[in-house]
Chains A and B, each alone.
Chain A
Amino acid sequence: MQENNFEKQVQQKMGELRFEPTTPVWAAVEARIRKKKERRRLLFWMFFGVLLLGGAGAWLLQGRPSASNLAHTSAQLPQTQPTTTPGTQTAAPATPSATGAMSNGSNGPADAGTTTATKETVLPTVATATGEIAVARTATASPAPATRATSEGASKARMGAVSPVRASRNGRTAARRTTGPATAGPVPAQHHADRPGANITTTNTAATKATTTTATADPAPGTTEATRISTAKAPTAGVPAPGADSTNTAATTPQAPDVAAAAAPPAAPQHRKARPFQWRVWAGAGRSAFTSPGPGTKSSYDVVQNTGGGVGSGSGNPPLSGSFSYPTPDRDPAASFQAGVSLIYPLSRNVQLEASIGYHYLSTVQQVGAFRAETGSATPSNSARTYYSYGSQTSYRNQFHTLQLPLQLGWKPHPRVTLTGGASISWLVATNALRFDEGNGRSYKDDSEWQRTGVSLLGGARYQFWKKGARSIDAGPVLQYGLSPLERSTGKRFSYIGLQAGFQF
């Protein structure tokens, strides 16, 4: 006790020490508090404004039937140019109609007099009686220039894609200073009968019928703590015990600087209502998959096979009887990840509102056949169309890059556990996903197939396994299910399951 006498005296004397601060100090403190609170409020309302605008924009975009979608779709469809060989001509369906109408047209020889240059073209795949797929490569005869007309316009129509203070400490001296599917029906390419080879009798009914374009616009789918106040040690509280280190360690263990270090363990709830929001930075990974909205989706294999003979390669194929549709290739779940930032605003002691903005990468994997490029022989300027034939030669990853604006409610049944649930508006920023045509078995890129905006349900749970002051780290499972279809033709939507970790501060 004797040796602590000096420290006790010093502590006592220092406890008596008081100074009256000058007036500008409070003025500076007041100004800085107001400024920071206003900044917080502004950020909060700005974020909500963005959410509202995003939501309204998404709703408007989804509800608007877009004629341009039709043009876009038709332009995107892989069209088969009629090709002729001296002996036979095979005309494949020009449109990926539902049944495919695989009618083969055998024609007499092409007008040899007008046939000029030849060009090797990849013919559409043809289904044989055994279901084999064959690709006919034949020399095509271009029609006479006079008869050459183009399926103009169609290939050019393209829809634009959805565009997507601390106040300085010197403050003292200063202040004391102081987004509908528009292609419900068959989406025919604007193929005209007078396209190349028009003087050739063609039985390509699909192509000729295709001129009747029907555009049915679907309606928009629903569209700190324990105030580690070390009070016993504060001079104002009385007598500290220098030297009694071991007894005081727990009560006064210094933590992170400043405020966080002074936070106390959760206890008194009465001050929580006015708690300002917190930030949470999060990231997660998991698996995403395409899910059907229910029974009745197409992945059919309703085949009435033909009784054909020799198959596929070019000439003399007996016509297939009945309708044939290729089985839709499976899209297997694949890796997905997400990251973003949330603003957490406590509504009550156990309930909080979480407004977030984040990036979500979704993907699926499917098997495709050979990559092919089809060059239109009709127009020199016609660009090459690329697609994957039916098959399982390679794995193709459909990737979706989305921007998400989740709004969730969080409930804390336990101080360390938070259950969340809510909805998210998402915007498809970019994708390389393939659309599948059951009619000809091709998989090709078609941006118009994908709904740009969507709404999904979110849910999750997280466990806070580290906390220091106002900062904490948590992790837990997250689920997401698309309410609105992503793929227009099938109505399929995305689902995601994964783990998420976050840092709150």
Chain B
Amino acid sequence: MDATARPVSTPRLTRFLHLLRSAPLTAQFGMVVTLAYALVALFAPLIAPYGEVEVVSRVPFDGWSAEHLLGTDQLGRDFLSRLIYGARNSISIALITTILSLTLGCLLGMFAALVGGLVDQVLSRIVDALMSVPELIFILMILSILGGSILNLILIIAVLTSTRFYRISRAAALNVASLDFVEAARARGEGSLWIAVNEILPNILPLILSELGMRFCFIFLNIAALSFLGVGIQPPTAEWGSMVRDNAALINMGNVTPLIPAAAIALLAIAVNFVVDWMLNRASGLSEEA
């Protein structure tokens, strides 16, 4: 196997590089920015000049200086360090939530499509009901009652978002499930789970991947909004949404520092959306402007 795999991998790599080079400028920009964020998140402790919750100055809301490049926050912690650690916290929590909801939604969606009948009906009606509530309001209500721990936040958002993955994977799987090779697998006597993973999933993957990117953005923005409203990720954990809220007083004095975490949120979401948009265009096979 190894001997045959090697020579194949080189053209595959060049093809991949060629694909990246053929991507539109917006998508390339998106990929570079996303990669940069990932690196910052991974190596946060190495990059950050101070600790995440370390009080480094007696002066709260200190201005920008050589010592504290972006000044200090409301408790005298280094703003830049918290911004860097915030990348790690915000992105990892959003990523975990996305993957959780993807797994839950896609498995249930493919299951419903393959089994059909009453199971499909019941699951679909539950999903309809969950989707008919405004997300932010629903999360706010549940969090206010259960308390705003990170675990609760992840679970609630993952379950609510899995409805979107359910919808899209069920619809896509329904199309694939009627094709001949699925019939063949069934005739061979394969189980539903085997068919779902080996036959259906590879065929609906492009669609699900672009949905994954889009949902990551929504979850990321939702968590930021919740933290901004004071019910998401709680202090002292550094998180971009709550950093904006805690330092918002500076805005009325004409200081732009509190806007930096907000801009960081926006930039990442834009970058991911640019990549997703390109993938969607490729997946649908129509390149409108090309």
Is chain B found bound to chain A in the same assembly?
Answer: no
